[in-house]
Structure 1
Amino acid sequence: MELWIVASVLFVSAVLVFIYSFTQKQEKEQAYKELEDFSLTVTRTVYDLSERVKTLETELQVDDQEDDLHKQVTQLNKDNIITLFTKGFSTETISKQLRIASASVQEIIDSYIEEGIRA
């Protein structure tokens, strides 16, 4: 008789553990669902913010920085860049001295070299 009591207690325990395991899976699935929802919310928020920034840039007529840097370079600056380059100054030194972006200085030097090769 004691054997039947032990067996039934073990059987009931097994059923309870089995049911508990199903509830744990549901909790994990719920956590994954919440994480997915949060991720989608963050993605939507970032997209909305980027759209707002684009709208504000359009309204304020903000150009790209590269366009502004190229506009800064006047013919006088081009002549100064070429003069300093032919005297042996580095691109970075010319950039710092004339307060022009290194990329713009390098572009002018490259076009100067290309024109010299073509001529």
Structure 2
Amino acid sequence: MENKDNIIVNLTFQFALDIIKYTEELQENKKFVIANQLLKSGTSIGANIREAQNAESKADFIHKFKISAKEIEQTFYWLELCKFSDNNFPSVESLINQLENISRIVNKIIITSKNK
């Protein structure tokens, strides 16, 4: 899936694929609760952004992006639990870096959309 014109759609789609891969690794290590939470929040980011592409109004568009921003924060939470846990979770550094980039773009889109 590639949408050449929409960077945030592409970034969040790739992030969702990477989250799926990471959570499959967690499930293999029997870390089911964190895996399920991370899978839900990490894939929801892009789903809401995708839905915003067909928003019925500017307010609806902003609302979908705000939901994505909330899911980003939740995903940061689960990734940080993995990072700082004493239970030997696989490295989350690249996922955190991707998410920081996505977060900056999402917040900029929200601010820009509000000012239009």
Place the TM-score, normalised by the shorter chain, in its bin: under 0.3
TM-score (norm: length of structure 1):
0.25
Task: Please identify which structure carries the higher helix content.
Answer: 1
Q: Which of these two proteins has the greater Rg computed from alpha carbons?
A: 1
TM-score (norm: length of structure 2):
0.26
Higher RCO, 1 vs 2 (CA within 8 Å, ≥6 residues apart): 2
